[in-house]
């Protein structure tokens, strides 16, 4: 399943639910596939997500670039578009919404 994130302050983007739902839980949201964070709660949600991502173990940096196997991308890296959206929305007193796509 895909989750689409929306905000008037930035462009929409889509994540797979296996990435999006854990990130939503980290930021204090219900972890459901539909919801929103209003301007009042954005800074708190952003802080919780950033804190949770800092607690994750570091990804192994010695991965062979020529390896034919699927690349292992860290959750912190996959969180980048959501972090950017939350930061922009918080700076402009906006909101962030998400729903199944």
Interval 19-61: pLDDT, tens? 999 999 999 998 788 999 998 899 999 999 999 999 988 654 4
Residue 71 has pLDDT above 80, yes or no: no
Closest-CA residue to 99 (of 36, 19, 30): 36
Which residues have C-beta within 8 Å of that of residue 13, sequence separation ≥ 6?
A: 4, 5, 81, 85
pLDDT-derived band at 68 (thresholds 50, 70, 90) equals: very low
Q: Which of 64-73, 77-86, 88-97 has the lowest mean pLDDT?
A: 64-73
Consecutive H or E run containing 10: strand 10-16
Q: Which of 28-32, 75-79, 93-97 has the lowest mean pLDDT?
A: 28-32
CA 37 to chain centre: 13
Domain positions in the chain: 2-55+76-100
Residue 58 in contact with residue 88, Cβ under 8 Å? no
Q: End-to-end CA distance of the chain, in Å?
A: 8
């Amino acid at each position: 399943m895909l989750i689409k994130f929306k905000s008037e302050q930035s462009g929409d983007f889509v994540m797979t639910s296996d990435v999006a739902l854990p990130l939503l839980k980290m930021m204090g949201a219900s972890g459901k596939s539909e919801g929103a964070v209003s301007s009042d709660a954005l800074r708190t949600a952003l802080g919780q997500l950033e804190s949770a991502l800092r607690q994750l173990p570091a990804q192994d940096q010695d991965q062979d670039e020529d390896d034919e196997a699927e690349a292992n991308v860290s959750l912190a890296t996959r969180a980048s578009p959501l972090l950017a959206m939350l930061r922009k929305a918080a700076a402009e007193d906006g909101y962030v919404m998400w729903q199944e796509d």
